[in-house]
Structure 1
Amino acid sequence: MRTQCLGNRAAAEDAPPDPAAYSGEIRAAELNGPGNRAAPPGSVIYAIGDIHGESSKLDLMHSMIRADARGRVADRKVVVYLGDYVDRGPDSAGVIERLVGDPLPGFETVFLKGNHEEFMLHFLETGDSASGWFHNGGLDTLEGYGVEVRGHSLWRPDSGELRDALEEKLPDSHRRFLEALDLYHIEGDYLFVHAGIRPGRALEEQTAADMLWIRNKFLESNKDHGFMVVHGHTPRDFPEVRPNRIGIDTGAVYGGKLTALALEGEKRDFMQA
């Protein structure tokens, strides 16, 4: 049985924090250059931040990554997607269809779970709308799959009817994709995870709830986590580089850019679509 990571607290924590709480963002181009951590030798690792149904931005990012990789000497190419493929944006179904369709041939692909995929899976498994999915973009995803949501109140939806309709519309390949998502991935000195980790806790003791939902305890920490943590989940105007973490959710669904981070050796480069 999958660990459930939902509930009133988790749903409430999906609201982005006040950007004023975290100062020091600088433009993506100014962040390019060497770091103090390294990717595995002979590899270039691309990490893509929260997509949230922005399929056109994802298409452009894939084109940019293909072009960038042609100029790299690394033989091994990896792309890590940090989760939150669905909700809020115009084309969640199209995003997942692209991801199951091998959009970057010749690349190893790693798909991480975000809290919005957890929302969606929880709804598919239980029909429970009390978790807050509908209030956090779930109705946009239902509409994107062709589910009729008109006449359903956010507060009192017929969730059983909507779940049955989604079950009917959701392609088997999309369901398998959602159920196979990983919680984290390691490449060299880098740990990739959707939201972050609990400071001071060993990796093997981290909970799924923290990896999907954590914000302030992680964002405010100056602890050395043993890895440079690359994460999404908390949208910022620009990529956020700290001594112990790099945040690359730049609010693609809120009118911002979709950001990717390229890592080769000790060098890091940011790309935005």
Structure 2
Amino acid sequence: MGRFRQWLGWPPPRRAAVPAGTRVYAVGDVHGRADLLEPLLGWIAADHARRGGEARLQIVFLGDLIDRGPASAKVIDLLIGADRSGADHHVLSGNHEEMLLTILAGESDGVGAWLDHGGAETLESYGVDPARFWDDPEALPRVLRSAIPSRHLALLRAMGDQVRIGDYLFVHAGIRPGVPLDEQTGRDLRWIRKDFLSSTADHGPVVVHGHTIVPTVEYHRNRIAIDTGAYRTGRLTALGLEGEARWTLTSRLDRA
């Protein structure tokens, strides 16, 4: 097709881009790995400074900041501190934040599933022993509201579902193919997997997402997957975007 376009004198297809004067870093699923996030935030700042210019810095966190890893409370503290850095921050909600917020709202039916999928580690990071709550799930919402600082609750409750920057759409899990972007459900944006991952449809913007672990960043025509499994692999990745350029930064600690 490329040679055919060249023969006809057509210009090459335009690559997705962010607006001029903007530099974006999207951070994959942190999952309680403050030991990876803290240096990555420093490397983002250093990389932004090294690239120079007057580009406006925007950092997008793709959700699943909490659970599984050992330091969810510190991760939230780091984000609160980073928000004072002068960059524009967009913090999206993942399915793990959704589970926690549902419990905070008083729903106890999902307590066991949340604890089994990393919620126990989050409780421990806030100084709460999770042992009793498998047998007494109704007690957890009240305990959580007391244990989690108000500034952390405010950040969790203010998380968005999606953000569009130029030709890129940033979400946690993906989108429902064929559904207009303004009609996507929060559940799909935070939980979808197979129908999105298998789709070759042109979604309009290129979708940058986490949620599904990949060995290295995967570039597809219609999406970019950047969850490199921080809690499991010891690798937390950020995708950098400026103009049509793309690059990655990875915070890495080899597992023993």
Is 1:228 the counterpart of 2:206 in the alignment?
yes
Superposition deviation, residue 169 in structure 1 = 1.1
The answer as to whether partners of 1:191 and 1:228 remain within 8 angstroms in 2 is yes
Question: Residue 36 of structure 1: CA displacement?
Answer: 1.3
Question: Kindly tell me: are residues 104 and 37 of structure 1, through their superposed partners in 2, closer, same or farther at Cα, counting changes over 3 Å?
Answer: farther
Aligned-pair distance for 1:229? 0.4
Are residues 1:134 and 2:112 paired? no
Contact kept in structure 2, 1:53 and 1:85, CA below 8 Å:
yes
CA distance in 2, matches of 1:104, 1:173: 14
AA in 1 matched with 2:19: P
Q: Which residue of 2 aligns with 1:78?
A: 58
1:89 aligns with 2:73: no
Q: Contact between 1:199 and 1:223, CA under 8 Å: does it hold in 2?
A: yes
> Could you list the runs of 5+ residues in structure 2 that have no partner in the other structure?
1-13, 252-256
The Cα shift of 1:149 comes to 1.9
Whole-angstrom distance in 1 between the partners of 2:159 and 2:130:
27
Q: What one-letter code is carried by the residue in structure 1 that aligns with 2:71?
A: D
The Cα shift of 1:41 comes to 0.5
In 2, Cα distance between equivalents of 1:223 and 1:270: 25
Which of these residues, 103, 110, 125, is aligned with residue 90 of structure 2? 110
Structure with the greater alpha carbon radius of gyration: 2
> What is the match of residue 151 of structure 2?
173
Secondary structure of 1:173's match? Answer: helix
Q: 1:40 to 1:104 in 2, by over 3 A?
A: farther
1:98 corresponds to 2:71: no
Secondary structure, in 3 states, of the residue corresponding to 1:258? Answer: strand
Deviations along 1:118-164, one digit per CA (max 9) or x if unpaired, are 000001112414362112111111111111223444xxx31122222
- Amino acid corresponding to residue 144 of structure 1 in structure 2: S
Pick from 36, 43, 55 the counterpart of residue 57 of structure 1: 36
Q: Tell me, yes or no, if the aligned pair for 1:127 and 1:159 is still in contact at 8 Å.
A: no
Would you say the 8 A contact 1:91–1:141 is kept in 2?
yes
- What is the distance in 1 between the residues matched to 2:59 and 2:103? 28
The one-letter code of the counterpart of 2:145 is: E
Secondary structure of the residue that 1:71 maps to in structure 2? Answer: helix
**Do the aligned partners of 1:52 and 1:87 also contact (CA within 8 Å) in 2?**
yes
The two structures have a TM-score, normalised by structure 1, of: 0.83
* From 54, 64, 69, the counterpart of 2:48: 69
1:142 alignment partner, SS class: helix
Conserved 8 A contact 2:99-2:110:
no
2:190 is aligned, of 197, 212, 218, to 212
State yes or no: 1:271 paired with 2:249.
yes
Paired residues of 1:147 and 1:162 also in contact (CA < 8 A): no
Q: What is the CA-CA distance between 1:170 and the residue it aligns to?
A: 0.7
Distance change (3 Å), C-alpha of 1:56 and 1:104:
farther
Equivalent position of 2:22 in the other structure: 43
Aligned position for 1:147: 128
> TM-score under structure 2 normalisation?
0.89
Q: Secondary structure at the match of 2:170?
A: strand
Count of paired positions: 236
Partners of 1:176 and 1:114 in 2: CA distance: 16
Point out where structure 1 has 5 or more consecutive residues left out of the alignment. Answer: 1-34
Contact 1:113 1:182 (8 Å CA) reproduced: yes
1:256 Cα deviation after fit: 3.6
The structural deviation recorded for 1:255 is 2.0
Amino acid at match of 2:199: S
Task: Give CA-to-partner distance per residue, 1:59-116, whole Å, 9 cap, x none.
Answer: 1101110110012224200000000010000000100011112366121101000000
- Alpha carbons 1:194, 1:231 under 8 Å: kept: yes
Distance 2:195 2:154 in 1: 32
d(CA) in 2 for partners of 1:80, 1:257: 18
Secondary structure in structure 1 of the residue aligned to 2:235: coil
Contact kept? 1:62, 1:103, Cα under 8 Å: no
| % same residue | 45
